[in-house]
Structure 1
Amino acid sequence: MAVPRGRLPLVAAVAVFLAFLCCRGEAAARELKVGYYAETCPEAEDIVRETMARARAREARSVASVMRLQFHDCFVNGCDGSVLMDATPTMLGEKDALSNIDSLRSFEVVDKIKEALEERCPGVVSCADIVIMAARDAVVLTGGPNWEVRLGRDDSLTASQEDSDNIMPSPRANASKLISLFAGLNLSVTDLVALSGSHSIGEARCFSIVFRLYNQSGSGRPDAHMDAAYRRALDALCPKGGDEEVTGGLDATPRVFDNQYFKDLVALRGFLNSDQTLFSDNARTRRVVKRFSKDQDAFFRAFIEGMIKMGELQNPRKGEIRRNCRVANCSPVASRVVDI
């Protein structure tokens, strides 16, 4: 039957109300600790790493995409798996936020991890913790450092496109804006530069850099902070009026986690404006970039510290352990609703 604009069918409205009641009473926040699943799901971390390794074998870029989910998740209301949630008729999800839409990818890898964990330990391992473990494993699998992750997070019951739009920076962001964003989350300048080093692996679209090549700051000219030979290479990759979905490596070794990213910034060969600005536009970040370009071990140590600190950002609201990372357990879209 036809439904008046702006009104839910009766059964759908009842389902939304029941979902609200159901989801209100989910588990409270828990203490994070190393080995959190040692008794309840002792194979959890092995399952995550094995699934990530298979994903990397299928598509090398996928693990870098999964690693970036931690940043996009934790910065918006804490590390709660909200970035994984699909939009519903009553919720605009973070996947459709300006910095995420057509950019974040490889959600299916998280789906596969969750499926394997639910088969082995149903209802135990949160999607938020999967993101944390998978991000660590993306680094390890591409040659970077290993570290112990603190686990025990709940999954959020909802997501917010608006919150993501208000928080997440664009590829055009400058160093000053990034410093302010990180400081608001109690993350230092060193944390900012080290965590930006996640761009040691992976690729980005021409869409993210065409303004740098042809109209930096509305000047109608390319970014002056760009090596001439590198700019010519990017001009060929991303010609004006060309396919903006084409991708290029974020550094010269996009499949290896190393400090080449920082060497490229010093050489004015940063792919994204938000990367190059760390060297070109701010003395505080420039000092750290130079140090990491010369000392890979220092970068690795700072990166581990930054990832752990970022992982401590928490959502104070009650949550749950989602059975499906894309939808809250009590969401009406989780089961079929019949219109009457």
Structure 2
Amino acid sequence: MRKNIILVILVASILVVGCMGDSGDHDRGHGHGQDRGHGHGDGEGLKMHYYMNRCRSVSVEKTVKDIVWSKVDADPSMAAKLLRLHYHDCFVRGCDGSILLDPTQNTTTEKTAGPNRSISGYEVIDEIKTKLEAQCPGIVSCADIVALTARDAVSFQFKREMWPVFTGRKDGRVSLASDVGGNLPSANANFTTLLTQFGTKGLNLNDLVILSGAHTIGISHCTLVSRRLYNFTGQGDADPSLDPAYAQTLRKLCPNPVNPTTVLEMDPNSSITFDSDYYRALNQHKGLFVSDAALLTNQRSALVAKVLENPSIFFAQFARSMVKMGGVEVLLGGQGEVRKNCRVVNGQ
């Protein structure tokens, strides 16, 4: 017991020191990956307030914030939708706005892939893009709009910016449904698979546990947990890693055969309040998905999850990991384009 307490304190100190070490790094680039945009800190990488001198007729970040805050105020569930949109964009071909592209006669795009069919919030991106194009045509990328909306959607609850968003991304011209499966983490993934998928994006174990905290807001459906509730080992049983009382609650909400339209809160305490309650639930074995429970199967990730029950530590670390994720395989300079319409590649 004493050993575990010491380990928790050690992990907490590592997390906090890591956050302090990155806190002032607002001028460097944040690109990752080989051929898709490295940050250089010389004007070619992502920057704070990239559009300040490029769109003099409008404040890009204020325009985005005002529209997003009005949407979340009218519909609190929109915060989770816009945050999820950013995640799903960054994990497939990097943060390049490729998830926004509509399918064409010859191409099934990312948004048509199974895991993305429940994504929403596209109309908010469209509204922001339309307004910015009218005032500052051909300058603001759809990829940057996605990154800014995610931050502002979460920030509405706190009425302050929860993390800095570095901008200057370009939009990708390629979007393929076939790219989604192997890149986007699944709700049924085990720890090894999750760590590998995050690692290929330049994200580490801490980022995996921290970014999983996004499950503190948002909903899912019974179909994603049905096997966990009724046939986990093929014998009609529930996943033994689930808290028995929680499993029984879920079975009542999702009677077998499950109704695919039945909604479940990912955080059993609240699906609209951004807080650290996800970790409290997780550590009580009340994580909704197999991928949530997987975080407790590794000693270090379990210790990180314990530390993140502290809201101050969670908020600080979430900010750091969101900045890091927002720089995954970004397109810079001439590597991409700035779409006139977020749903269509220029020239189509």
Q: Which amino acid aligns with 1:319?
A: G
- How many angstroms does 1:267 deviate by? 1.0
Partner of 1:130: 145
- The alignment status of 1:267 with 2:281, answered yes or no, reads no
Partner of 1:245: 261
Partner of 1:223: 239
Q: Percent identity?
A: 38
Contact 2:169 2:330 survives alignment (8 Å): no
- The alignment status of 1:314 with 2:338, answered yes or no, reads no
SS at match of 1:150: coil
What CA distance in whole angstroms lies between the structure 2 residues aligned with 1:329 and 1:219? 53
What CA distance in whole angstroms lies between the structure 2 residues aligned with 1:124 and 1:92? 27
Instruction: After superposition, give the CA deviation of every residue in 1:175-230 in whole Å (9 maximum; x if it has no partner).
Output: 22111111122211111011111111111111211111111243421111112222
Aligned pairs (5 A) from 1:1-340? 30-41=44-55, 42-101=58-117, 103-143=118-158, 146-251=162-267, 252-279=269-296, 281-293=297-309, 295-315=310-330, 318-331=335-348
Q: Which amino acid aligns with 1:141?
A: F
TM-score, normalised by the number of residues in structure 2? 0.82
Structure 2 stretches lacking a partner, 5+ long: 1-36, 39-43
What CA distance in whole angstroms lies between the structure 1 residues aligned with 2:114 and 2:258? 21
Structure 1 stretches lacking a partner, 5+ long: 1-27, 332-340
TM-score, normalised by the number of residues in structure 1? 0.84
- How many angstroms does 1:154 deviate by? 0.5
Partner of 1:335: none
SS at match of 1:151: coil
- How many angstroms does 1:315 deviate by? 4.5
What CA distance in whole angstroms lies between the structure 1 residues aligned with 2:305 and 2:197? 18
- How many angstroms does 1:303 deviate by? 0.9
What CA distance in whole angstroms lies between the structure 1 residues aligned with 2:312 and 2:330? 32
- What is the alpha-carbon root mean square deviation over aligned residues? 1.8
Contact 1:176 1:282 survives alignment (8 Å): no
Alignment length (residue pairs): 301
- How many angstroms does 1:95 deviate by? 0.9
Contact 2:46 2:167 survives alignment (8 Å): yes
What CA distance in whole angstroms lies between the structure 2 residues aligned with 1:125 and 1:248? 36
